[in-house]
Amino acid sequence: MKQYVIDELRPEDHEKIKMYMDAHFGPVDMGDIYWIPLDQDLYDAKQLSHDECRPFYFTIQLSSTSLAVELLVRTKNRIRCDCIQYATKKQFFWLIQFVDAIIERLEIII
């Protein structure tokens, strides 16, 4: 699986991120997985044509020492569909900026 990972989190950094994620995207559905909605302006043509699969998400797994973001764009409505695919360049850059903005907002030193 392709991922963007921030590792070696300190306990206090994990707690800051968890509090932020719980407030904005929680509570978690499964274990330590957060579902981050993808802005509709970033959907590609295939995703736009799949009304029944919308909305689309990225998932973030927060562990005690790392934050791992899957680069797979998912839907909660289906397990398999050809609209479930790896992020486009535009989606990828949005996601990296999204995660980095959270880290910066929380004043976490990486």
3-state secondary structure of 2: coil
Q: Which domain holds residue 92?
A: 3-105
Domain assignment present for 74: yes
Q: What is the C-alpha separation between 92 and 107, in angstroms, rounded? A: 23
Q: What is the C-alpha separation between 22 and 105, in angstroms, rounded? A: 15
pLDDT tens per residue across span 24-48: 998 787 778 999 999 999 999 999 9
> Per the structure, how many domains does the chain have?
1
What pTM was estimated for this model as a whole? 0.88
The CATH number linked to 99 is 3.30.530
Q: Which residue has the tokens 């535009």?
A: 90
Domain assignment present for 110: no
Domain assignment present for 98: yes
pLDDT tens per residue across span 70-97: 999 999 988 889 999 999 999 999 999 9
